[in-house]
Amino acid sequence: MKTNTIFLSPDEMPRQWYNILADIKMNPPLGPDGKPVTPEMLAPVFPMNLIEQEVSTERWITIPDEVMNIYSIWRPSPLIRAVNFEKALGTPAKIYYKNESVSPAGSHKPNTAVPQAYYNKVFGIKKLTTETGAGQWGSALSFACSQIGLECKIYMVRISFDQKPYRKAQMQAWGGKCVASPSNETNAGRAILAKDPNTPGSLGIAISEAVEAAVSDTTGQTRYALGSVLNHVMLHQTVIGLEAKKQLEKTGDYPDIVIGCAGGGSNFAGIAFPFVSDKMHGKKVEIYPVEPIACPTLTRGPFVYDHGDTARYTPLLAMHSLGHAFVPPPVHAGGLRYHGMSPIVSQLVTENLLTPKAVSQIDAFKAGVLFARTEGMIPAPESNHAIAQVVIEANRAKETGEKKVILFNLSGHGLLDLGSYEKYFANELDNYAISDEDLAKSEAVFKDFPKPQLLKSI
Amino acid sequence: MKTNTIFLSPDEMPRQWYNILADIKMNPPLGPDGKPVTPEMLAPVFPMNLIEQEVSTERWITIPDEVMNIYSIWRPSPLIRAVNFEKALGTPAKIYYKNESVSPAGSHKPNTAVPQAYYNKVFGIKKLTTETGAGQWGSALSFACSQIGLECKIYMVRISFDQKPYRKAQMQAWGGKCVASPSNETNAGRAILAKDPNTPGSLGIAISEAVEAAVSDTTGQTRYALGSVLNHVMLHQTVIGLEAKKQLEKTGDYPDIVIGCAGGGSNFAGIAFPFVSDKMHGKKVEIYPVEPIACPTLTRGPFVYDHGDTARYTPLLAMHSLGHAFVPPPVHAGGLRYHGMSPIVSQLVTENLLTPKAVSQIDAFKAGVLFARTEGMIPAPESNHAIAQVVIEANRAKETGEKKVILFNLSGHGLLDLGSYEKYFANELDNYAISDEDLAKSEAVFKDFPKPQLLKSI
């Protein structure tokens, strides 16, 4: 039978994650004293086995059997040739996409939620805390904890908690306990509520509450989990790109261009890093992280030392940043509303191994709707940004007549984001382009911090 | 790698649907004069190629290549051994489920929406009209029309239109035009709005509008499409059971019990009919359609001639019915809120080939939440009814120690129904058991209609 889907059998699944820290040098995270942080300083927040993984430079790290078993609920995920989308664009390019929307939580997030829950369990932890904005990460961690057997507590930004009751119910269906943040359950939350009882909350506040809840459990059996940015999160996501490489091998194609949307960087890293490694070893391939013009961390933010959170609880990370005080405009791609970027992705940009792109919210939805009408899947608003860049590349190939092979990551479906599509159809979306003055103001917060070195690994 | 999923390769996909009309006798649909309806009478509503399929008694009907190509977006669907669910129930039974939630629309409905759109297109039709209650069928038909290249117009029951904006946006993402019913676009709609401008609408009204919109297009290029009940709909859904049989063969198991939820009967027919055929030919297997106690068509309604719609536009169908005036209580499984039942499923019940069951709404959600927490998928409220019966059978196996093999159909996911889960968690659900008096009153509407014969095919 003719099919546009390139399947992998379960036996062909990658059994190891690819650790790109084997290939590159990195500026270390710095503590409040300006010196590199030690593993011990992170021990109250993360379990030691994950801290070790965070700094490991082993090239291949074996995926534990229990994680493989849970991955098998939805993995290997399909690689699909977007034939109808190609036809609609009239392009000679071949467009392939990796469909990460097939997980129970509907995105790539469970790829790291499951191993994070697993390593915590192995370390003897009973409960995980986390924050969530729009709800993708909170629901993925709830799913993972239900599979592994951990309690899960999620601090969800108040405005999203009220606007998106479906997400809360989804977490609850998997046994996760979700409260609106700021809450009355933490010192951080109570302090903010005392000042402003009607605050809509923020990711920065929610992180503060989740970290406080983890470190203040006197039994020592609670830890905090993060869904992006950190090295071990990028590591776990490489299963996406490793599968995609095997699937592409079956077609005889190798990508000229690899594309993923980038907020904290995790789905992008997942599809891209195995190809970045090829590129370092001489292969010719263009690799584009795509962000919203409303939050242009890689395209307009400098490579600096800055905090990962608004409240400055985290170490200083060497990364592209718009400043930890930057509040991104309310674009519907909630997963791309982050002031900073994965330090590894940032380092690869400084080495010119990646070429960042930015697209507007309206172009993103326009591309996403064309994709839905031709390929059948309704993409998440985040994924629409990758698709908009695919459209640009496909149109360029049409002009030049080049038969480019384009691979992109469909990071998630948009079924719990259909409200944003409704606003698109009603012409109620804004692009939220931001001014140089606003950026300069936001970036002022890190001007006195140490400067990272411009390392070259290759 | 260990996996609980039994895959089929695309080459192993069934190339034909199974037509159970080759095995059984049926009472014919009757017109207003009490005589069997002719194909010509249905020609303004359906294209003649589908009308021919509706009455065909060919045992195997080839799936057109273009339909196969679109099926390949999500088919073959996975068959999964629910190992974690078995463990949580402590049952010796083996539980397998066919996961129909993997389609772009999130349910089994595209299995018939795609061929219906295809046959209309081949017949020269440009546009399809339909009704939708909660939105599953309307979104499936929108998806199918976007793939095949037809216009699609959906009349959505007003109260659902207002309560479930996500469904409307989903249809729109695929290019479907969805209006609240009653609308100002049809005589039927205008007449009702004139009497009651604030009416919440009903499926009966929406059907009237969709049929009127189809037959009143003077170009003759518009037809109406129905998502359940009719013979050709059941036929298309048999791809579910045919795939499941092939997948089960790989495990060496054959089901002792086959279970599906039943509203109009289509997902149930899909999983069950290939096994019903085996049973007719001597195989030992129990087959249970499961309905809500709030709408007990098969378990408490008689086998009679009745209309398929409230407004009495359809022919008289020989089926189990609670009376065409019956308004089912507002259970959240909108797809199971139908007064009648597929005539084929009804006929098979009169022949004792099927054993209908009914479960309460609260038991259904309780079972669905256990399933979500163990297997990872959040089921549709409709599917929860099948799962509740699986729990009953698994517990019985636990008591008797029998290693029963249970197969059920997961007809769809519950991501656009999470509001109902929220009500379950808040203890706000009602079971809506109904009284004998209410049923007797509803059933009075067909007391003067002709009586169907109690046929025995085998």
What's the DSSP call for residue A23? T
Residue B162 predicted with pLDDT over 70: yes
The strand pairing partners of B261, in sequence order, are: B290
Q: Is the pLDDT higher at A173 or at B188?
A: A173
How far B2 CA lies from chain A's nearest CA (Å)? Answer: 6
CB of B427 less than 8 A from some CB of A? no
Which of A160-164, A367-371, B207-211, B447-451 shows the lowest per-residue confidence on average (mean pLDDT)? A160-164
CB of A73 less than 8 A from some CB of B? yes
Residue B237 predicted with pLDDT over 80: yes
pLDDT digits (tens, 9 = 90+) for A71-111: 999 999 999 999 999 999 999 999 999 999 999 999 999 99
Number of other CB atoms surrounding residue A7 within 10 Å: 18
Q: Is the pLDDT higher at A165 or at A350?
A: A350
User: Are B256 and B279 a contacting pair, CB within 8 Å?
Assistant: no
Long-range contact set of residues A119-125: C-beta below 8 Å, sequence gap at least 24: A119/A47, A119/A49, A119/A50, A119/A53, A120/A47, A120/A50, A120/A150, A120/A223, A120/A225, A121/A148, A121/A149, A121/A150, A122/A49, A123/A47, A123/A48, A123/A49, A123/A50, A123/A223, A124/A221, A125/A47, A125/A150, A125/A221, A125/A222, A125/A223
pLDDT digits (tens, 9 = 90+) for B198-229: 988 888 789 889 999 999 999 999 999 999 99
Residue B155 predicted with pLDDT over 90: yes
How far A443 CA lies from chain B's nearest CA (Å)? Answer: 38
pLDDT digits (tens, 9 = 90+) for A380-403: 999 999 999 999 999 999 999 999
How far B402 CA lies from chain A's nearest CA (Å)? Answer: 27
When the pLDDT of each residue in chain A is averaged and rounded to a whole number, the result is 95
Retrieve residue B126's tokens. Answer: 């440009």
Percentage, residues of chain A above pLDDT 70 = 99
- Coil, helix or strand at residue B380: coil
Mean pLDDT across the stretch A145-163? 93
Retrieve residue B131's tokens. Answer: 């009704």
Best to test chain B binding among A174, A247, A378 (most B CBs inside 10 Å): A378
Which of A35-49, A169-183, B195-209 shows the lowest per-residue confidence on average (mean pLDDT)? B195-209
CB of A421 less than 8 A from some CB of B? yes
- Supply the pLDDT for residue A163: 80
Considering only CA atoms, which of B236, B259, B193, B198 is closest in space to residue B411?
B259
Residues 96-125 (B) with a CB less than 8 A from some CB of A: 102, 104, 106
Closest chain A CA to residue B373: A174
- Supply the pLDDT for residue B1: 62
CB of A392 less than 8 A from some CB of B? no
Considering only CA atoms, which of B409, B400, B410 is closest in space to residue B93?
B400
Residue by residue, DSSP assigns A220-276 as S-EEE--SSSSHHHHHHHHHHHHHHHHHHHHHT---SEEEEE-SSSHHHHHHHHHHH
Mean pLDDT across the stretch B363-372? 98
Decide the pairing of beta strands B257-261 and B405-410.
parallel
User: Are B267 and B380 a contacting pair, CB within 8 Å?
Assistant: no
Residues of B in contact with A369 (CB under 8 A): 173
- The shortest CB-CB distance from B369 to any of A65, A173, A422 is to A173
Residues of A in contact with B9 (CB under 8 A): 7
CB of B13 less than 8 A from some CB of A? yes
Those residues with Cβ within 8 angstroms of residue B206's Cβ, 6 or more apart along the chain or in another chain? B131, B132, B133, B155, B156, B157, B181
Residues of A in contact with B3 (CB under 8 A): 10, 69, 72
Residue B458 predicted with pLDDT over 80: no
Which of A123-127, B147-151, B327-331 shows the lowest per-residue confidence on average (mean pLDDT)? B327-331
pLDDT digits (tens, 9 = 90+) for A357-366: 999 999 999 9
- Interchain proximity A372–B174, CB inside 8 Å: yes
- Interchain proximity A369–B173, CB inside 8 Å: yes
- For chain A, the C-alpha Rg in angstroms (whole number) is 21
CB of B90 less than 8 A from some CB of A? no
* Residue A1 pLDDT class (50, 70, 90 cuts): low
How far A117 CA lies from chain B's nearest CA (Å)? Answer: 15
* Residue A120 pLDDT class (50, 70, 90 cuts): very high
Per-residue CA distances from B209 to A455, B171, B194, B306 (Å): 68, 18, 15, 20
- The shortest CB-CB distance from A425 to any of B69, B74, B172 is to B172
- Which stretches of B72-131 are DSSP H helices? 83-89, 110-122
SS3 per residue for A151-163:
EEEEEEEHHHHHH
Which regions of chain B carry the CATH code 3.40.50.1100? 24-59+110-231, 65-106+238-446
CB of B62 less than 8 A from some CB of A? no
Please tell me the distance from the alpha carbon of residue B67 to that of residue B235, in angstroms, as a whole number: 14
């046994």: which residue's tokens? A175
Residues of B in contact with A421 (CB under 8 A): 169-170, 172-173
Residue B213: how many CA atoms within 13 Å on its side-chain side? Answer: 26
Q: Is the peptide bond before B182 cis (omega within 30 degrees of 0)?
A: yes
Residues 148-187 (A) with a CB less than 8 A from some CB of B: 165-170, 172-175
Considering only CA atoms, which of A164, A153, A147 is closest in space to residue A111?
A147
Closest chain A CA to residue B417: A166
Decide the pairing of beta strands B151-157 and B79-81.
unpaired
Mean pLDDT across the stretch B255-261? 98
Which of A152-156, B131-135, B378-382 shows the lowest per-residue confidence on average (mean pLDDT)? B131-135
Q: Is the peptide bond before A76 cis (omega within 30 degrees of 0)?
A: yes
Phi/psi of residue A305, nearest 5 degrees? -90, 130
Mean pLDDT across the stretch B100-118? 97
Strand order in the sheet with B94-99: B5-6, B79-81, B94-99, B405-410, B257-261, B286-292, B357-359
Residue B272 predicted with pLDDT over 80: yes
At position B279, the amino acid (one-letter code) is K
Residue B92 predicted with pLDDT over 90: yes
Residue B385: how many CA atoms within 13 Å on its side-chain side? Answer: 32
- The shortest CB-CB distance from B2 to any of A3, A69, A74 is to A69
Q: Integer distance in angstroms from the first to the last C-alpha of chain A?
A: 45
């086998």: which residue's tokens? B303
- Interchain proximity A10–B13, CB inside 8 Å: no
* Residue A425 pLDDT class (50, 70, 90 cuts): very high
- Supply the pLDDT for residue B88: 98
- Interchain proximity B422–A376, CB inside 8 Å: no
- Supply the pLDDT for residue A205: 84
Please tell me the distance from the alpha carbon of residue B399 to that of residue A197, in angstroms, as a whole number: 55
CB of B69 less than 8 A from some CB of A? yes
Residues of A in contact with B366 (CB under 8 A): none
Best to test chain B binding among A73, A83, A101 (most B CBs inside 10 Å): A73
User: Are A258 and A287 a contacting pair, CB within 8 Å?
Assistant: yes
- Interchain proximity A73–B5, CB inside 8 Å: yes
Mean pLDDT across the stretch B42-70? 97
- Which stretches of B252-342 are DSSP H helices? 266-280, 297-300
- Please, what is the Cα angle at B166 between B161 and B167, to 5 degrees? 60
- Interchain proximity A172–B65, CB inside 8 Å: no
- CATH number given to A24-59+110-231: 3.40.50.1100
Residues of A in contact with B170 (CB under 8 A): 378, 415, 418, 421
When the pLDDT of each residue in chain B is averaged and rounded to a whole number, the result is 95
Residue by residue, DSSP assigns A65-103 as HHHHHHHTTTPSPPEEE-HHHHHHHT-SSEEEEEEGGGS
Best to test chain B binding among A69, A97, A166 (most B CBs inside 10 Å): A166
- Supply the pLDDT for residue B10: 86
pLDDT digits (tens, 9 = 90+) for A258-310: 999 999 999 999 999 999 999 999 999 999 999 999 999 999 999 999 998 88
CB of B2 less than 8 A from some CB of A? yes
The CATH T-level fold of domain A65-106+238-446 is: Rossmann fold (3.40.50)
